[in-house]
Structure 1
Amino acid sequence: MWKLTRPDNRHDKLTRDTLLDLQDHHLVRIELVREDQRQVWVLTKRGHGEAKKLLEPKGIRVSALREEKYDPVTGELLGASYDDHSAAVTTTAAELHRVGIGHRFGFATEIPHRLAGGYVQRADLVVRAREAGVPVLLLEIDRRTEDAHELVTKLRRYWEWGRLLAPDAHRLTVDLVRSRPDAIEDVGHEKRLWRRVYPPTGREGLVPLAFVFADTTAAKVDNTVKVIEEAGRRYWAPRRYETYYQEAITAKDYSQAVPVVVTTLEQLQEHGADTAVWRRLGRKDEQSLTDALDNPDGDALYRRQHARAKAEDERRRAAEREARRPVCKRCGRKFTDQRWEETTARTAWKAGDLSVCGTCHADDVARQEAAAEAARLEAAAPPAPEDDPEPGRRRGWFRRRP
């Protein structure tokens, strides 16, 4: 609590004095003392009620009440299960908050994600830090108490949860996905369940997931990450884009993948969560959290490469078409697009001499029309009178006597 509420304070005196004051008012109590002598404080029943009145109207969820129960024989406090794992979760939140990743009320623990079969996958920690470039991040804190393949199973469950449809999905869409599960990949993320729970991430893919390892060795972390990377490839790895310009596209399709980053609590404490201590699965180097979550080889690169490939393909096609363009056998000029189309269309029989260009064809048509007009005029003209051998002499069988 000290690190989470007062990240800049070097000493916990202010937090300790506040807790002691709350204890005097029976709002908090000490549940246990850890081996390093740090005390674990929890809300009393009265304090829990006061916290709900204060926080829930503001939309802040309050954890379940930890009731105070004692062994009837020994009198020892029961249910003091706030262990090192819980401390690691709280410390992780504090380290994120200390560098400005998440408001103190922007953290939530043990958030359930219900799968289609009824199983509930609970995230150790959920961070919402839009101002820091991380609208949402799910975190699993592991002190190497779980087998690496169990972490792969968790990754698979988050991937499956990200593929669930929203409750208000159209009936036809629901039927299609039930009959063919891969059809969910053609359904936009805004129509899926996760978008009803979390805001858009601002990046391709599903809700990002972070594995934070604590209280373990670097060798164990490396071995665990290798297992997650290999056995969980289907869930975190991007795919190739299905495109006509396959050879020209090196960008990767992250739209159906869970972005997974890994780090250790010790690195967060030593260097800070805002430094290059996060490694994205599939990459070699460590980066800052936002850089690790970004996809420089993703959709933005695809759009640029696709535009270049399309433009180059259009230039190539245009050059090939130009090379096939017919040349007039009479004047040597190339056909225009209109004349080319006239000579290759189904009505090419109307186009006259197919070996000449539009200009020469127009000349032919003009000559033909002129000849036809001359013939028409000649046919319409009256016949000329025959020559009279005796001009002025009347013609006929009888002549008047003088």
Structure 2
Amino acid sequence: MGPSITPSAPRRQKPAVSAGQARRKGDRRSADIPHADVTRRPTHRKNSTGPRRRGLLQALGIFQRATPDQLWKLTRPGNQHDKLVRDNLLDLQDHHLVRIESVRKDRRQVWVLTKRGHDEAKLLLEPMGIRLSALREKKHHPVTKKLLGAGYDDHAAAVTSTAAELHRAGIGHRLGFATETGHRLGDGYVQRADLVVRVPQAGAPVLLVEVDRRSEDAHDLVVKLRWYWEWGRLLPKDADKRTVDLVRSRPNAIERVDHEQRLWRRVYPPTGREPGPPRVRVRRHHRGQVANTITALKEAGRRYWAPRRYDSLYEKAITARDYRQAVPVVVTTLEQLQGHGAGWNAPGSRR
């Protein structure tokens, strides 16, 4: 369980500008070509400073693999392009702390930590209780000598890009992100969130983000929503005996148990709101498929996200709805996050 990280102040969304797009006189230099495979060291480059070095090592320690574009938004979102990040990566490469693992089809380089860089990132992250990702070791085929396991699949890239866009919009801090975080249910099954974003100062204890794997249908989505809903209703192991007996003896008695006494509040910080942690669904499809996702949620998943009527004798006269057992859900696309920012009212984002 990582620490509660105060999010950075909301930033004014700026359009992404690839390095080299600014107007200049004369010919463009090779170092300014977006996403170019830069092998020559620019003569003006200086050694990366302590904060820049720490930021890149921490980001790669958390996300394991990332492109310069993603690292730019995770570490220096105030810059207009990723050129400074690319220069800093080259400097870290000179010091044998990072290496290029592969080059994607769009010519973006995928950077990872070396053994030495992994050890340094461990010293930066573990004292703060932040989980470090596994080291990406170089493995070659014994016969062909081809590098193995160097693929950066679309899902892993989309998870990192989602975190980068949230951070660029001022939602969460890079040290408040975690990937593949497990949530153990009562039957022992572990539901792993693709991305966890801790944002206690933004009015939400945490965002549990699921990034679509393209192969998942609406039924898979509803099942995952049910798992999160069930996890939010669990009691901790040291719960009061009277509370445990009550929950075991009466159906839906857990709904009478305050959220402060539930397991999820031991894991994530308080927010002052009764519903469970918000769950964000990010799809990598066009907006028409987002509409299909929302339709499926409205119908098959109503039990888990929809409010209810107050059912006690005294509360029946209340016309307001009870959201205490509902799981807030936001659905959007990665294209919308990249094009319009991560504001909740951005086009394509639906609650």
Please give the range of the TM-score, normalised by the shorter of the 2 chains. 0.7 to 0.9
Write out per-residue CA displacement over residues 185-228 of structure 1, whole angstroms, 9 at most, x where no aligned residue.
Answer: 121111111011001232221111011112x1222221122112
One-letter amino acid of the counterpart of residue 271, structure 1: H
1:155 matches 2:257: no
Structure 2 residue aligned with 1:113: 183
1:260 matches 2:329: yes
Of 292, 300, 319, which aligns to 1:250? 319
1:229 matches 2:330: no
CA distance in 1: counterparts of 2:147 and 2:251, whole angstroms: 50
Q: Name the CA shift for 1:274/1:221 in 2 (closer, same or farther; >3 Å).
A: closer
One-letter amino acid of the counterpart of residue 34, structure 1: R
The root-mean-square deviation of aligned C-alpha atoms, in Å, is 2.0
Residues 344-363 of structure 1 mapped to structure 2, 5 A cutoff = none
> Could you tell me whether the CA contact under 8 Å between 1:262 and 1:278 is conserved in 2?
no
Q: Name the CA shift for 1:211/1:15 in 2 (closer, same or farther; >3 Å).
A: same
SS of residue paired to 1:105: helix
- How many angstroms does 1:245 deviate by? 6.0
* Structure 2, unpaired ranges of 5+: 1-70
SS of residue paired to 1:60: coil
CA distance in 1: counterparts of 2:248 and 2:143, whole angstroms: 55
1:37 matches 2:107: yes
Write out per-residue CA displacement over residues 145-166 of structure 1, whole angstroms, 9 at most, x where no aligned residue.
Answer: 3111111111111111111101
The structure with higher relative contact order (CA 8 Å, sep 6+) is: 2
CA distance in 2: counterparts of 1:127 and 1:186, whole angstroms: 28
1:185 matches 2:255: yes
Structure with greater proportional helix content: 1
**Could you tell which deviates more after superposition, 251-260 or 67-76?**
67-76
CA distance in 1: counterparts of 2:81 and 2:316, whole angstroms: 59
Structure 1 residue aligned with 2:131: 61
CA distance in 1: counterparts of 2:258 and 2:314, whole angstroms: 24
> Could you tell me whether the CA contact under 8 Å between 1:149 and 1:228 is conserved in 2?
no
* Structure 1, unpaired ranges of 5+: 280-285, 293-402
- How many angstroms does 1:73 deviate by? 2.1
One-letter amino acid of the counterpart of residue 149, structure 1: H
Structure 2 residue aligned with 1:47: 117
**Could you tell which deviates more after superposition, 125-134 or 154-163?**
125-134
Of 94, 113, 120, which aligns to 1:24? 94
CA distance in 1: counterparts of 2:255 and 2:316, whole angstroms: 23
Structure 2 residue aligned with 1:370: none
One-letter amino acid of the counterpart of residue 203, structure 2: G
CA distance in 2: counterparts of 1:195 and 1:245, whole angstroms: 28
> Could you tell me whether the CA contact under 8 Å between 2:290 and 2:331 is conserved in 1?
no
One-letter amino acid of the counterpart of residue 190, structure 1: E
- How many angstroms does 1:64 deviate by? 1.8
Residues 3-402 of structure 1 mapped to structure 2, 5 A cutoff = 3-214=73-284, 216-244=285-313, 248-274=317-343, 276-277=345-346
Structure 2 residue aligned with 1:337: none
Q: How many correspondences in the alignment?
A: 281
- How many angstroms does 1:278 deviate by? 7.4
Structure 2 residue aligned with 1:389: none
> Could you tell me whether the CA contact under 8 Å between 1:261 and 1:278 is conserved in 2?
no
SS of residue paired to 1:139: strand
SS of residue paired to 2:102: strand
**Could you tell which deviates more after superposition, 94-103 or 140-149?**
140-149
- How many angstroms does 1:253 deviate by? 0.6
CA distance in 1: counterparts of 2:175 and 2:216, whole angstroms: 29
Task: Give the share of equivalent positions with the same residue, in percent.
Answer: 71
- How many angstroms does 1:247 deviate by? 6.7
Q: Name the CA shift for 1:190/1:87 in 2 (closer, same or farther; >3 Å).
A: same
> Could you tell me whether the CA contact under 8 Å between 1:201 and 1:207 is conserved in 2?
no
CA distance in 2: counterparts of 1:177 and 1:66, whole angstroms: 45
Write out per-residue CA displacement over residues 4-29 of structure 1, whole angstroms, 9 at most, x where no aligned residue.
Answer: 11112222111111111222222212
CA distance in 2: counterparts of 1:143 and 1:256, whole angstroms: 28
Q: Name the CA shift for 1:180/1:248 in 2 (closer, same or farther; >3 Å).
A: closer
CA distance in 2: counterparts of 1:142 and 1:149, whole angstroms: 13
CA distance in 1: counterparts of 2:316 and 2:304, whole angstroms: 25
SS of residue paired to 1:125: strand
CA distance in 1: counterparts of 2:272 and 2:156, whole angstroms: 30
One-letter amino acid of the counterpart of residue 319, structure 2: T
Q: Name the CA shift for 1:247/1:121 in 2 (closer, same or farther; >3 Å).
A: closer
CA distance in 2: counterparts of 1:114 and 1:242, whole angstroms: 30
